[in-house]
Amino acid sequence: AQSVTQLDSQVPVFEEAPVELRCNYSSSVSVYLFWYVQYPNQGLQLLLKYLSGSTLVKGINGFEAEFNKSQTSFHLRKPSVHISDTAEYFCAVLTNAGKSTFGDGTTLTVKP
């Protein structure tokens, strides 16, 4: 079985500040890792994914994440946030068998 823990339920930051949203996972099998963003009243949109290869993954909107196998983490970062980044962010894992598990989300609020 897999589980995903997003360590912060809410992260308030000021515009142009850096941000890190933390995600730890647990799994008995190899998994692929994803970050999704959800704007109000919208579905989820993929930000980035780690399938294999380089542990530093770059995604859309200036976000990046680093896969750390020893710490079973996949933290999301952005060096300078904008007001428009205010949204809910979800970390997810996917097994080779196609089973997906999502975290409970982190609400990022960017203040002017």
Partner 1 sequence: EAGVAQSPRYKIIEKRQSVAFWCNPISGHATLYWYQQILGQGPKLLIQFQNNGVVDDSQLPKDRFSAERLKGVDSTLKIQPAKLEDSAVYLCASSSPSLRGKTEAFFGQGTRLTVV
* Residues numbered 52-91 forming contacts with partner 1, rule: CB under 8 A: 90
Question: Interface mask (CB under 8 A) for partner 1, residues 27-46, using x and -?
Answer: -----x-x-x----xxxxxx
Q: Please report how close the Cβ of residue 111 comes to partner 1 at its closest, in angstroms.
A: 21
Should residue 96 be labelled a site residue for partner 1 when binding is judged by CB under 8 A?
yes
Question: Binding to partner 1 by residue 25, rule CB under 8 A?
Answer: no
The b-or-e profile of 77-103 (16+ CB within 10 A means b, else e) is ebeebeeebbbbbbbbbbbeeeeebeb
Residue 112 Cβ vs partner 1, minimum distance, rounded to whole Å: 26
CB of 15 to partner 1, least distance (A): 25
Q: Which residues contact 27 (CB under 8 A, 6 or more apart)?
A: 1, 2, 3, 72, 93, 95
- Report helix, strand or coil for 108: strand
- Report residue 103 CA to chain centroid gap: 9
* The one-letter amino acid at 98: G
Nearer to partner 1, 15 or 88 (CB): 88
User: Near partner 1 by CB under 8 A, which window of 14-22, 62-70, 75-83, 101-109?
Assistant: 101-109
Contact yes or no for 36/60 (Cβ under 8 A): no
Residues of this chain that bind partner 1 (CB under 8 A): 4, 32, 34, 36, 41-46, 49, 51, 90, 92, 94-105
